[in-house]
Amino acid sequence: VEDDLKQGVIGAVPIPSEDAEKEEVIAALVANVEAMIKADRKITALKQLQGHIWRTGFETNELKGIVFDDVPEALEKWHASGVKVYIYSSGSRLAQRLLFGNTKFGDLRKYLSGYFDTAVGNKREKRSYVEITDTLGVDKPSEILFLTDIYQEAIAAKAAG
């Protein structure tokens, strides 16, 4: 929030001082979170908050991870073939683990090799895909198949090789 205020981000509201009433602090936090959600901000702090909310929902069985019906079979097939599958999402790594760990098909995490989130960078920036390639230790980026439904992400991944 402090960074947003410095940068003049629309919707950013100052957080009251330590001597303010609890309700004032909560109201300011809620206003900031709602503004971030409305602006569809893909920032790590917001995604971490999402992960914490999801954890509570999954722990109480109020939430289930939704995946298409063909996903478990595809993941199992790739896993059996030795294909490593990673998830790169604007959702936090915690949120990804919760989603894939709590589906109507059971825990699908056994088929996944790892998770990436916006901590490696924005999904529409080339450098994020370079970071993933470096992290995976792949010499030739073309050995990685990146799937997305967002054109700008595909362009950024292609630019990284």
Domain borders along the chain are 1-60, 69-160
Tell me, yes or no, if the pTM score tops 0.85. Answer: no
Q: Mapping DSSP to helix (H, G, I), strand (E, B) and coil, where does residue 8 land? A: coil
- For 109-139, how does the pLDDT look when each residue is reduced to its tens digit (9 = 90+)? 999 999 999 899 999 999 999 999 999 999 9
Q: Which tens digits make up the pLDDT trace of 63-113?
A: 999 999 999 999 999 999 999 999 999 888 988 999 999 999 999 999 999
Q: Which CATH superfamily is domain 69-160 in?
A: HAD superfamily/HAD-like (3.40.50.1000)
